[in-house]
Amino acid sequence: MSDLKYIAGKEPHPRERRMIFKNVDREGWDQSIDTYEKDGGYEMLKKALKMEPGDITSEVKAGGLRGRGGAGFPTGVKWGFLPPNNEKPVYLICNADESEPGTFKDRYIIHQDPHQLIEGMVISCFAVNAKLAYIYIREEFPEGAAILEKAIEEAHAKGYLGKDILGTGFDLEIYVHRGAGAYICGEETGLIESLEGKRPYPRIKPPYFPAAMGLYLCPTIVNNVETLCHVKHIIELGGEEWAKIGKPNNTGTRLLCVSGDVQKPGYYEVEVGSLTMGELINDVCGGLKEGRKLLAVIPGGSSAKVLRGDETYQVGDDELTIWDIPMDFDTLAACGSMAGSGGVIVIDDSRSISWVLNNINAFYAHESCGQCTPCREGSLWMKKITDRVVAGKASPQDIDTLYGVAKNIDGRTICAFGEACSWPTESFVEKFKDELVADTKPELSDDILNPESELAAAGLG
């Protein structure tokens, strides 16, 4: 690490451990394959291609790599779901639809180190025997798409892609597919539908688990950009050695994207669980802004449940303040939230909780795909209620209704968007009810805004 030079002002924090982001903001670094190769690029591919594909999966399993897209599902286990006697083609899809608010890590990999992703993908494709792979990149990354196209072309010219890769007989093509600007395309089955040219309506599971019935109803692996990059490093260190990074069951490094009310928001690659929330905010991010107090943290992208700044959390036998929470998958889950996509949103006491929740609700109401009833109708309803809360046109009862609507969505939808849109409301009302009610007016409790409901309320509708 010490011999690496970074652009002035963008040096990694000493608490960081840069593996995936080794080359991000590096002095003299560019996206070209020559630069990548000079730095030892594609050596791990050569190593992997000499291994048995099954052994690569075993290493990934041994490493305990958990998906970095949001759900934290073990990658090796996911690969293991491919049907053993499969005769159909297998597809691998890189999910580069980074769209969870508060998350901005994959774009830096794509923009600054595209070959790391491609190397990780080729290794992963070799492991799962995929001959065709797609990078599904969100529409909002036009530059990233062009960079990836160029990187794929370069890798082709060097024989890392195409027919008979490095003389091993393994064939692979990677295509970049640009989305059309929809959050739901980050949901893996919605992504697959979109890739098939349809509306990105997530599929019902069962039966449409991608590993069995994915793209074109063939076995398909969908992994996040960061996850696929980790595969390269697992090959480098070996699963067992890689698993020593981080904590048991929370292995490796991960990219945290800190935004909001801190002195130095940005991206930080740390060993999973090596930092507490307090260390992340105070040491790495330079602390809160002058004279402010911590109100809340959303620790894993906007859909993660909010943590209150002055709350204590019972984790096993320990009672933790928010500052003591180690930033790993399991502890954040035990605190009632999730590590999610690594997007840490810090909210200080200068913010209005109603406004924060309304902002989140507006996003999810706009992004609900509209396929299934609870999320389609509920997400907009929640937004409309918080619109009124923010505008001072709501009553205290509206907060109860808001909570009831969220509960009517949670657990009842086709995909996890139901939870993504209802968890913020549920957690904000559970933890900040007083603050929300403070923005309402009791005298408005009989206010009805549509004539039909007025009739219904009067028993005439």
**Rule CB under 8 A: which residues touch other proteins?**
182, 199, 201, 204, 206-207, 365-374, 376-381, 384-385, 388, 398, 401, 404-405, 407-409, 411-414, 447-450, 452-453, 455-457, 461
Of the candidates 115, 343, 364, 121, the residue with the CA atom closest to the CA atom of residue 221: 121
To the nearest 10°, the Cα dihedral for 411, 381, 368, 207?
Answer: 30
Compare residues 332 and 409 and give the one whose CB is closer to other proteins: 409
Coil, strand or helix at 40: coil
Compare residues 7 and 448 and give the one whose CB is closer to other proteins: 448
Buried b (16+ CB within 10 A) or exposed e, 127-166: bbebebbbbbbbeebeebbebbbebbebbbebebbeeebe
Residue 207: cis peptide before it, omega within 30 degrees of 0: yes
Compare residues 7 and 455 and give the one whose CB is closer to other proteins: 455
Compare residues 68 and 388 and give the one whose CB is closer to other proteins: 388
Of the candidates 92, 366, 66, the residue with the CA atom closest to the CA atom of residue 211: 92
Compare residues 335 and 409 and give the one whose CB is closer to other proteins: 409
What is the largest distance, in Å, between two alpha-carbon atoms of the chain?
78
Rounded Cα–Cα distance for residues 223 and 214 (Å):
13
Compare residues 347 and 382 and give the one whose CB is closer to other proteins: 382
Minimum separation from the CB atom of position 397 to other proteins (A): 9
Minimum separation from the CB atom of position 426 to other proteins (A): 14
- Expressed in percent and rounded to 5, the helix, strand and coil fractions of the chain are 45, 15, 40
Minimum separation from the CB atom of position 171 to other proteins (A): 31
User: Amino acid letter at 55?
Assistant: D
**In this structure, are residues 412 and 454 in contact, taking their beta carbons and an 8 Å threshold?**
no
The tokens for 50 are: 């000499």
User: Amino acid letter at 116?
Assistant: Q
Between strands 90-96 and 220-224, the pairing is parallel
Minimum separation from the CB atom of position 63 to other proteins (A): 22
**In this structure, are residues 419 and 300 in contact, taking their beta carbons and an 8 Å threshold?**
no
Compare residues 169 and 459 and give the one whose CB is closer to other proteins: 459
CA R_g for the chain: 23
Compare residues 7 and 204 and give the one whose CB is closer to other proteins: 204
Minimum separation from the CB atom of position 177 to other proteins (A): 20
Minimum separation from the CB atom of position 418 to other proteins (A): 9
Minimum separation from the CB atom of position 69 to other proteins (A): 21
Minimum separation from the CB atom of position 205 to other proteins (A): 10
